[in-house]
Structure 1
Amino acid sequence: MKKDIPVKIVEDVAIAVVLERETPEAKVWNVYLVNLKNEPIETVLVSSKGYGVKNGEDVKTSILRHSIGTVGGQDFAKIEAIDEQVFGLTNEYWLSFYINGHIYDKKFIFLPESIVESNLIRIPVVNKPGVMIG
């Protein structure tokens, strides 16, 4: 039975943690969905959570669910703001969307301490510095 279900591979869609702006006092970070496809993705849903160990104790953030709607081809959508305090945790984003009536889903995981200055790149389409998983 399970072998009869077609596997839909997610390609050309990414999650990026983007540095929006920086002042001497603070940095402002947001998480974006980046659609690198030339076609729109529809009924986009994203759930996010953080987990790990901080100061020797197990830590879990709340699970947040976001209904994004449609994201056009070669476009992006803001998912949520993210605080630097959770960069030491595993940050997980579960994405699902439709293309031509077919559902796709994928889990994106930012490992602890992976969102650091040395990993910043110019995020395509968003055109700002950040860390991206595709």
Structure 2
Amino acid sequence: MIKDLPENNVTDIAVAVALEGENAQSKIFHVYLINLKKEPIENVLITSKGYGEKDGEQVKTSTLRHMFPVVPNGSYKQIELIDEQTFGLSNEYWVSYYIGNQIYDKKFIFLPESIIDSNFIKLPVVNKPGVMIR
């Protein structure tokens, strides 16, 4: 049955963690979905969770779900605020969306310690410093 499903490759969609600002105590980060396509994506569903090992113990965060009716082409949507303390975990974002009547989905995973200043780029469309997975 699975072999009968079309292979819909996800391209020109990115998930990014952007630095929003900082103060003496901490930095503020948000996670964004970036649509780099030439067409809008619709019925976008994103689940997010963190998991891994911290201080020798297995840790899992809550699973959060986010829904956007439409993400226009060449634009972005803020998914959530992310706490710096979770950067030592794997942070997973599973994105599903439609173009027409075709469904697409892809899992984006920020590995532990990958969200660091030395990996920052200027994020397209969002125009903020951060880390992006395409």
- TM range, smaller chain: over 0.9
Q: What corresponds to 2:23 in structure 1? A: 23
Contact residue 29 and residue 83 of structure 1 kept, 8 A: yes
Q: What corresponds to 1:96 in structure 2? A: 96
- Distance (whole Å) between structure 1 residues aligned to residue 131 and residue 2 of structure 2: 35
Contact residue 49 and residue 63 of structure 1 kept, 8 A: yes
Q: What corresponds to 1:129 in structure 2? A: 129
Three-state SS of the structure 1 residue aligned to 2:85 is helix
Contact residue 19 and residue 30 of structure 1 kept, 8 A: yes
**In the TM superposition, what whole-angstrom CA distance separates every residue of 1:63-99 from its partner, at most 9, and x where no partner exists?**
0011122100000000000000000000000000000
- Distance (whole Å) between structure 1 residues aligned to residue 111 and residue 8 of structure 2: 25
The equivalences for 1:47-126 within 5 A come to 47-126=47-126
Do structure 1's residue 37 and structure 2's residue 37 form an aligned pair?
yes
Unaligned runs of 5+ in 2: none
Q: Which runs of 4+ in 1 moved over 4 A?
A: none
User: Once the 2 structures are TM-superposed, how far is the Cα of residue 26 of structure 1 from its aligned partner?
Assistant: 1.7
**In the TM superposition, what whole-angstrom CA distance separates every residue of 1:22-44 from its partner, at most 9, and x where no partner exists?**
22222110000000011100000
TM-score (norm 1): 0.97
The CA RMSD over aligned residues, in Å, is 0.8
- Distance (whole Å) between structure 2 residues aligned to residue 122 and residue 31 of structure 1: 14
Contact residue 44 and residue 98 of structure 1 kept, 8 A: yes
Unaligned runs of 5+ in 1: none
- Distance (whole Å) between structure 2 residues aligned to residue 21 and residue 69 of structure 1: 28
- Distance (whole Å) between structure 2 residues aligned to residue 3 and residue 111 of structure 1: 30
Indicate the percent of aligned positions where both proteins have the same amino acid. Answer: 62
Contact residue 68 and residue 79 of structure 1 kept, 8 A: no
TM-score (norm 2): 0.97
- The letter for the 2-side match of 1:30 is H
User: Once the 2 structures are TM-superposed, how far is the Cα of residue 2 of structure 1 from its aligned partner?
Assistant: 2.7
- The letter for the 2-side match of 1:128 is K
- Distance (whole Å) between structure 2 residues aligned to residue 55 and residue 68 of structure 1: 36
